[in-house]
Structure 1
């Protein structure tokens, strides 16, 4: 379950990071200004559609960070995109830190822009 208070803090961090006002942020993601106001005040909880609009307008925002606070914002390292491909891949020769390389992978989830996803377990 989403902690609405913490989600609101993360959403405000995104708005502040990009130097937006609540009004300009609402316009950029395609929602009414009152929707932003109600979410920031805690009156309403964000819908899935709202979250997807934020992620679409601001691809640097990670879903898991926005929803659960896990990860970082802004992203510490970017994933580079090949100019001849629609897929993304990590930069070549990138070294993982010990904490990343010793961790067991539980699941890999790929999110598509149409809102669908695929989940893979090793």
Structure 2
């Protein structure tokens, strides 16, 4: 036991033990890699939500080590045992692939259910109690490097009453006959009645959407599958 280790030092040991990079972790959690670089460099501390997300996504991490510095760094599986995700720890979520975007826009007035769409199996801890979640497939590279073409992301619907408070994160936005995944930086729905949607890729550009054209908003909360790059 070494409680003198800082949270940054403990995280470095954990990432080394897992054999994964900061970029891989950020993609898995749906976070910007710079957040973890700032944490490991001592410029920021991980929030409670970040710590819980790490433990949910990587159950082999020892919570005692991450929180209190009590070794071992990783939980040791029993000898000759296989690490498996039990079926009751996963849930089937409606999946909207790129090929279904147009159909999804056309039928948006109808309830999306697993009975009339494909499904994607997601770990329950990622859902975090949210309702009506969907898995979306990313089209194009306008949100790279965080979200590459073909990545699958978990999204939660945002109530129309809360649209004006959304900013900073990545969202799926349905407006007119379009369905796009972009970052909201300039939310002026309350004052000027429009949103400006930005691409993370400098070559992707941005688009301004009037309030009256918006039909639906979903917040991207996690990456559930990412293509090998």
TM-score (norm 2): 0.32
Match of 1:12 in 2: 12
Q: 1:1-122 alignment to 2 at 5 Å? A: 6-76=6-76, 78=78, 113=125, 114=128
1:85-114 deviation digits (Å, cap 9, x = unpaired):
96xxxxxxxxxxxxxxxxxxxxxxxxxx55
Classify the secondary structure of the residue corresponding to 1:50.
helix
Write the distance in 1 (CA, Å) between the matches of 2:59 and 2:43.
26
List gaps (5 residues or longer) in structure 2: 89-124, 130-229
1:55-102 deviation digits (Å, cap 9, x = unpaired):
011101122210110131222455999xx996xxxxxxxxxxxxxxxx
Write the distance in 1 (CA, Å) between the matches of 2:48 and 2:6.
16
Would the aligned equivalents of 2:23 and 2:33 in 1 still touch at CA under 8 Å? yes
Classify the secondary structure of the residue corresponding to 1:71.
coil
Higher-RCO chain (CA-CA 8 Å, sequence separation at least 6): 2
List gaps (5 residues or longer) in structure 1: 87-112, 116-122
Cα–Cα, structure 1 residues 67 and 19, in superposed 2: closer, same or farther, change >3 Å?
A: same
Write the distance in 2 (CA, Å) between the matches of 1:49 and 1:61.
15
Classify the secondary structure of the residue corresponding to 2:26.
helix
Classify the secondary structure of the residue corresponding to 1:72.
coil
Write the distance in 2 (CA, Å) between the matches of 1:24 and 1:36.
11
Q: Considering fraction of residues, name the structure with more helix.
A: 1
The number of aligned residues is 88
Q: Considering fraction of residues, name the structure with more strand.
A: 2
